[in-house]
Amino acid sequence: MNIAVVLFPRVTALDAIGPYETLQRLPDATVTFVGHRRGEVRTENGFLGLTVDATFDEVTAPDVVVVPGGIGSRALLKDEVVLDWVRRAHRTSRFTTSVCTGSLILAAAGLLEGRTATTHWGAMDVLGGLGAVPTSARVVEHREERIITAAGVSSGIDMALRLAELLTDRQTAEALQLTIEYDPQPPFDAGSVEKAGPDVLARANELALTKD
Amino acid sequence: MNIAVVLFPRVTALDAIGPYETLQRLPDATVTFVGHRRGEVRTENGFLGLTVDATFDEVTAPDVVVVPGGIGSRALLKDEVVLDWVRRAHRTSRFTTSVCTGSLILAAAGLLEGRTATTHWGAMDVLGGLGAVPTSARVVEHREERIITAAGVSSGIDMALRLAELLTDRQTAEALQLTIEYDPQPPFDAGSVEKAGPDVLARANELALTKD
């Protein structure tokens, strides 16, 4: 099973690493981090380097595609190399998935036209503008169309566990949940706009890495 | 605020990236990934490269230390360069923290002698053998001693949100929870040994990357 995770400059690390941590542990899985050029890309603020191991040309028919988001995803919405790759990969993939603003890339590639999909809460309008039907669910699954989109950043972990079940079986997916000890106990309950309330939302907007 | 995240060959990526994703967003934070040598290290199975940007010598007095785990952590338990660095960094840090088997390194450095601490469920005995008092809590906090340990892999996200509160204030920490949309909705409830049951545990052991 070949799993391709897309990387690009100014990616949000956890968008990619959340799913990676589960999917790499599937039986017989190979994960390849793919991008424009082999070598390092840096996350949004430049604090972390992640390695691209293969170019888009080199990864032609992955079984699973994971497209993460981040500030840098906006630069890819008119990048025909990326969009063409996503379209071609999706023709033969078992599942094409996104986390956070990665769904904007799937939408720009035409995969979400008229379909429900999710993204980070701050990008719902942009997703709608690209032809999808924005939905505030944590994970939106179109099983027949083989497309799964996840909400912001950490939601890729939830998505990947469900994807693991679809690719193997429930017991294997539960075993992976146990392996990554995903028994969440967040110290607060501010993980969605509704739960956080307006003051916390305002503070989140103040802290945003950039306003684009 | 200088945050140092330790990297080493065969690290578990999510152990490091879970806390990173929150902590990098703290006001005025700088995150430095530190290791033996500048350049790339690969995760357990080699699928992902992460960049070490500074050597241990170059990071002398971080405000926050994060030590992730992974198969490679075992090789560091007698590595005096790492253990000395951890001891010295802890003298002046505001908080010294670990995720997963990163706590074995804190224990080997002598920081957990006679103290309660947590780790991945598969490493509790090893932690006890290193002088700590193993506790199956998701996050164990010794505020006065400035030490926080987190359980397996994904628990670093929960730990980092609490740490964000300790370093700033509750509203800021909640805003970061909202930013990373940490509103967990795992598709199953198998995130701990107790919840998973013996069959899932057996499957997890089958799927383990290595048995050490």
Predicted pLDDT at A212: 40
Predicted pLDDT at B210: 59
Q: Bridge-partner residues for A30, per DSSP? A: A2
* List of domains in chain B: 2-185 (3.40.50.880)
Grade residue B102 by pLDDT with cuts at 50, 70 and 90: very high
CB atoms within 10 A of CB A76: 24
Q: DSSP H helical segments within chain A, as ranges?
A: 13-23, 80-92, 102-108, 124-129, 155-167, 170-179, 193-207
Residues of chain A with pLDDT under 70: 210-212
Nearest chain A residue to B163 by CA distance is A187
Q: Which one of A25, A165, A191 has the shortest CB-CB distance to B187?
A: A165
The residue among A142, A138, A73, A78 whose CA lies nearest residue A111 is A142
Grade residue B208 by pLDDT with cuts at 50, 70 and 90: confident
pLDDT at B24 over 70: yes
Predicted pLDDT at A56: 98
pLDDT at B139 over 60: yes
Q: Which helix (H) or strand (E) holds B50?
A: strand B49-52
Chain A, 29 to 88: residues with Cβ < 8 Å from chain B are 30-33, 40, 43, 45, 47-51, 53
Strand order in the sheet with B95-99: B54-55, B30-35, B2-6, B64-67, B95-99, B147-150, B139-142
How many Å apart are CA B158 and CA B139, to the nearest integer?
A: 8
How big, in percent rounded to 5, are the helix, strand and coil portions of chain B? 40, 20, 40
Rg of chain A over Cα atoms, rounded to whole angstroms, equals: 16
How many Å apart are CA B138 and CA B98, to the nearest integer?
A: 12
Check CB contact under 8 Å for B175 and A204: yes
Do β-strands A49-52 and A39-42 pair in parallel, antiparallel, or remain unpaired? antiparallel
Check CB contact under 8 Å for B179 and A153: yes
Check CB contact under 8 Å for A183 and B203: no
Predicted pLDDT at A208: 87
Query: Which position among A100, A107, A126, A167 bears the catalytic label?
Result: A100
Rg of chain B over Cα atoms, rounded to whole angstroms, equals: 16
Check CB contact under 8 Å for B158 and A185: yes
pLDDT in tens, B32-73: 999 999 999 999 999 999 999 999 999 999 999 999 999 999
Q: Which helix (H) or strand (E) holds B150?
A: strand B147-150
Is A100 annotated in the active site? yes
Predicted pLDDT at A96: 98
Q: What is the mean pLDDT of chain B?
A: 96
Check CB contact under 8 Å for B209 and A184: no
pLDDT at B212 over 70: no
- How many angstroms away from the CA of B84 is the closest CA of chain A? 24
What's the pTM?
A: 0.97
pLDDT in tens, B141-172: 999 999 999 999 999 999 999 999 999 999 99
Q: Give the tokens for residue A202.
A: 């305002």
Residue among A157, A171, A178, A201 with most chain B CBs within 10 A, to mutate:
A178
Nearest chain B residue to A123 by CA distance is B179
How many Å apart are CA A162 and CA A179, to the nearest integer?
A: 15
